């Protein structure tokens, strides 16, 4: 558990948008959105969520932690795959309900659980009145099946 606490967001809009107090606006589920880019070339790697504990641990350790909504658990990214994210810079937005992490990815330099560098590997377009996806050709950088294999 981290001892770091975050203050309540101020009701004053000017204080929230122009002030120096970090008062993240967690949603009803206690989460903020986290956008993660590569600090070197700016590539968008993933979108995830953080609760107060994940946010505090990320600030204190310099290693990205998230809240896994599917597993309902604190998630130290890369714990299994080795693809740990070290935080180069953290920013927040005007109304403090989103976090931007600029990171360096260790291990295979891959962020997506499919093995690809980024979770965003498909473009969305219209074809004959239907929205369809096209793969951008990104290849896996590690063997996801092997890495995440559950012990028998």
Positions that interact with a second copy (CB under 8 A): 4, 6, 17-22, 33, 35, 37, 41-44, 46-47, 56, 59-60, 89-95, 98-100, 112-114, 119-126, 129, 131-136
Query: Is 93 annotated as ligand-binding?
Result: yes
> Do the annotations mark residue 94 as ligand-binding?
yes
Report the C-alpha gap between 147 and 82 in whole angstroms. Answer: 9
User: Least Å distance between CB 43 and a second copy?
Assistant: 7
Burial code (b: 16+ CB inside 10 Å, e: under 16) for 137-148 equals ebeebbebeebe
Q: Tell me how far, at minimum, the Cβ of 141 lies from a second copy, in Å.
A: 14
Q: Are 48 and 55 in contact (CB under 8 A)?
A: no
Would the annotation count 112 as a binding residue?
yes
- CA distances to 9, 38, 45, 55, 77 from 85, in Å: 28, 9, 11, 14, 7
38 is in an annotated binding site: no
Known binding-site positions: 93-95, 97, 112, 119
Known binding-site positions for Mg(2+): 93, 95, 97
């Amino acid at each position: 558990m981290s001892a770091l606490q975050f203050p309540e967001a101020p009701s004053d809009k000017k204080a929230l948008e122009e002030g120096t107090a970090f008062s993240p606006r967690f949603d009803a589920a206690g989460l903020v959105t986290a956008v993660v880019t590569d600090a070197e070339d700016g590539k968008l790697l993933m979108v995830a969520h953080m609760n107060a504990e994940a946010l505090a641990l990320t600030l204190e350790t310099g290693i990205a932690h998230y809240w896994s909504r599917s597993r309902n658990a604190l998630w130290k990214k890369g714990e299994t795959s080795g693809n740990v994210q070290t935080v180069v810079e953290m920013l927040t937005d005007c109304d403090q309900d989103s976090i931007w992490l600029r990171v360096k990815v260790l291990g295979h330099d891959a962020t997506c659980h499919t093995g690809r560098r980024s979770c965003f590997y498909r473009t969305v377009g219209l074809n004959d009145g239907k929205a369809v996806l096209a793969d951008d050709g990104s290849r896996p950088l590690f063997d996801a099946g092997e890495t995440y294999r559950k012990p028998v």
